[in-house]
Structure 1
C-alpha cells in the first residue's frame, strides 16, 4: 500500500502545476495536468480503477456539458462581438466603458460558465477597444472582476458552483436566493471601487456594429434561461440531467431550424473543462482516507473555512480548492461560504481563477500587455473586500 505522504505529494504537485502554462520549453495544459495526476495515483494503487470511476461526479460533468453547449451555440449568432461593440459605442467615456464591461461580464457569467464567457468575450472586446483607440487594460480587468463576481449568483456561473450544487443537496432556488444578493452587493461595491480609478475621458468611436442574427440569439438565450427555469421548477430532478438534456435539445434545434450540424458546435466546445474535472475528482478521491483530509476536516465552518478557502484558492486555484475542501464541509452555511469565497477570491491573483488566466492568455495572443502587478493591485482589494462582505452576510 502506497504511503499517505507519497499520495499527498503527488496530488499537491498536480494541483500546484495547474496554474503553470509552461515550464521552460515544455507546455502545460490544466486538463492534461489533472488527468495525468489521476493516472499516476491509480497506477500507484492509491485508488483502485473502480473507486476512481465512482469518485467522478457525473451530475457535475453533465451540467458543465450542457452549459458549454449553450454558450458555444449562442456565440454562433454573433452575439459576443455585437455586444462588445455596442458597449464601446454607447458608453461614451472610459469610466462608463469599464463599469459597463464589469456589469455585462457579470450578467453573462451569472447565466453561463464564466470561463466560457471570458474566452469568447475577451478577443472581441480587445478588437472593439483597439478600433476605438482606447487602452484595453481597464476593460480587460473589468471583464475578469465581473466574470468572477457575477458567477457567484447561480450554480450555472462557474464549474465550482456546479460541483457544489451536486454535492450539497441545495436546490437551485436556495442557491440563488442566498448567493444572488451577495453577488449583487459585491458588484455594487466593485463598481464604486472601479469608478474612482478611472476618469471620464470621452471615447470617440466610429466602429461599425457587426452583424447579429437576432432570432438565433434570442432562441439560444431562451435555451439558457429555460435551463435555469427548469432547474428551479424541478428541484427533484438532477440539475445535470436538465442541463445536458437542454443542451442536446439546443443542438437539435440548430440542426433542424438552422441546418447547422451539431458536430460543429461539439468540435468548438471546451472539452478540457470536463477532462479537468474528471482528473480532479480522481485526485481528491485518492486522498479521502489520508491525513490531509483529516486535517481539513478540523477547519470546520465559519471564519476558519472562509479563511482557508481564500488562501487555498490562491495557492492551487479555486476549482481544485473547492473539490478538496468539499470533504470538510459539514453544513449548508459551509457550502455557501465555499461557493462565495472561493469565487470572489479568484479576483485576488491570476493563480486563483481559470477565468483570469484565460483573459491573460487571450490578451497576450493579441499583443496586449496586461500587467499582472496591475491586475493584483486592482483585484486583491476587490477580492478581500467582497470576500469579507460575503462572509459577514452569511455568518451574521
Structure 2
C-alpha cells in the first residue's frame, strides 16, 4: 500500500494517462489499429535527448557553467537576472523540466549564501516562467514541441517564425521583472567548487546530444539515432540508461492511445473538431489549464491542422495554473522542500505572475501573429 501511495505521488501524470487510456478502451476495444496511434519517432527522440542530457547533468556540466557565471561581486538585480536567465536559455536545449531540476536548487543555494532567501518565492516563480517560455523556442525545448513539430512535419523556418517573437517578448518582460525591487552590491562565493567529473564521458554525451539534434532536424533517422545512442551508452556508461525517465515515455504511449481512441469516436470527433475550428489557440490554452499542455497537445492535434495555433496555445498555455505545465509542479515541489518555504504566499505570487504573463503573451500572439 505504501509503495502504491509513493508511486502515485511520484508519477501522478502517468497514472492519470493510464486511467484515461483504459477508460477509452471501453468505447474503442484494443486492436492492431492501436499501433498506428503511437508516434515511434517522438518516443525515440525523447529517449535520445533524455539520455544525452542525463549524461551531461551527471558530469556536473550545468553547475560548473552556473558557478562560473555567478561567482564574484555583482548587484542583487543582476544576480536575480542571472538566476532567471539560466533556465530561460538552458531550457531551449535541455528541456524545461531538466532546467528547473538543475537551477531551482542552485538558486536556493545562491540566495542562502547572499542572505536573500526572502526573494526565493519570486525568483523561483520567474525561473519557472522562464523555463516554460524559453523552452518554446526550439523543437527540443519541451515534449509538446517535439511532438507537434513531428506530428505536423514543421520545418525549421516555419517553426521559428512562430516561436521567436513570443520568446523575444518574454525575455524583455522577464528582464523587467528581474530588475524590480531594491538593489544592493553582494558577493557570491561558493564553498564547494564544481568540476567536470570526466571530460571524456562529457565529450561522448555532447556528441549524443548533437546526434539527437540532427535527428530532430531530419538529418539523421530517428531509428538510427536511437540505436546508436543505446549502443554507445552500453559501452561508455550504461548507468545513464537508468536515469532516462521511462515513465514519461510510458505516459506518452498512454496519451497516444487515449487521443487515438477519442478521435475514433464520432461524437467526440465532431465536437472537438467544431471547437478547434473556431479558435485553436484559445482552445489549447484553456485545455492546458486543466489537463496540462503536453496531454492537450497530444489530444487536440488529432482534430486540427492548425500547427501554429497548437504551438502557440500549448506553450503559452503552460503559464497560468500550477498544473498547466508539469515543469511548474517540479519547481513547486523543489520550493516546498526548502526550510523557508511559505506555500500559500508562493502560490499567490506564482498564480498572479503566471496569469499576467499568460494574458500579455496571448494578446500579443492573437493580435500580432
Q: TM-score range by the shorter chain?
A: 0.7 to 0.9
Residue 298 of structure 1 is aligned with which of 274, 281, 286?
274
Matched, 1:79 2:69: no
CA distance in 1, matches of 2:241, 2:303: 36
How do 1:34-113 residues align onto structure 2 when only pairs under 5 Å count? 34-42=17-25, 44-90=26-72, 92-113=74-95
CA distance in 1, matches of 2:362, 2:67: 32
CA deviation after TM superposition for structure 1 residue 345, in Å: 2.1
Residue 357 of structure 1 is aligned with which of 307, 313, 329?
329
Partner of 1:204, secondary structure, is: strand
Relative distance call for 1:53 and 1:77 in structure 2 (3 A) is same
- Residues 245-289 of structure 1, C-alpha deviations (whole Å, 9 max, x = no match): 56436626xx44xxxx31x11112222211111111111112113
Matched, 1:346 2:318: yes
CA distance in 1, matches of 2:115, 2:297: 40
Relative distance call for 1:96 and 1:58 in structure 2 (3 A) is same
Match of 1:270 in 2: 245
CA deviation after TM superposition for structure 1 residue 38, in Å: 1.8
Deviation larger for 68-77 or 26-35: 26-35
Relative distance call for 1:244 and 1:26 in structure 2 (3 A) is closer
Normalising by structure 1, we get a TM-score of: 0.80
Relative distance call for 1:109 and 1:298 in structure 2 (3 A) is same
CA contact (8 A) 1:144 1:347 kept: no
Over aligned residues, Cα RMSD in angstroms? Answer: 2.9
**Ranges in structure 1 where 5+ consecutive residues have no aligned partner:** 1-21
Match of 1:204 in 2: 187
CA distance in 2, matches of 1:148, 1:91: 29
CA deviation after TM superposition for structure 1 residue 226, in Å: 4.8
Residue 372 of structure 1 is aligned with which of 347, 358, 365?
347
Partner of 2:263, secondary structure, is: coil
CA distance in 1, matches of 2:256, 2:215: 27
CA contact (8 A) 1:69 1:266 kept: yes
CA distance in 2, matches of 1:300, 1:228: 31
- Residues 218-262 of structure 1, C-alpha deviations (whole Å, 9 max, x = no match): 65345434532454372xx55x4465356436626xx44xxxx31
CA contact (8 A) 1:31 1:272 kept: yes
CA contact (8 A) 2:59 2:197 kept: yes
CA deviation after TM superposition for structure 1 residue 101, in Å: 2.4
In the comparison of the two structures, how many residue pairs are matched? 357
CA distance in 1, matches of 2:309, 2:301: 11
Matched, 1:310 2:281: no
CA contact (8 A) 1:97 1:139 kept: no
CA distance in 2, matches of 1:104, 1:326: 31
CA distance in 2, matches of 1:119, 1:48: 37
Normalising by structure 2, we get a TM-score of: 0.86
Relative distance call for 1:376 and 1:91 in structure 2 (3 A) is farther
Residue 308 of structure 2 is aligned with which of 322, 336, 341?
336
Matched, 1:190 2:174: yes
CA deviation after TM superposition for structure 1 residue 67, in Å: 0.9
CA contact (8 A) 1:80 1:124 kept: no
Partner of 2:317, secondary structure, is: helix
Relative distance call for 1:328 and 1:199 in structure 2 (3 A) is farther
Relative distance call for 1:336 and 1:250 in structure 2 (3 A) is farther
CA deviation after TM superposition for structure 1 residue 149, in Å: 1.0
Partner of 1:139, secondary structure, is: helix
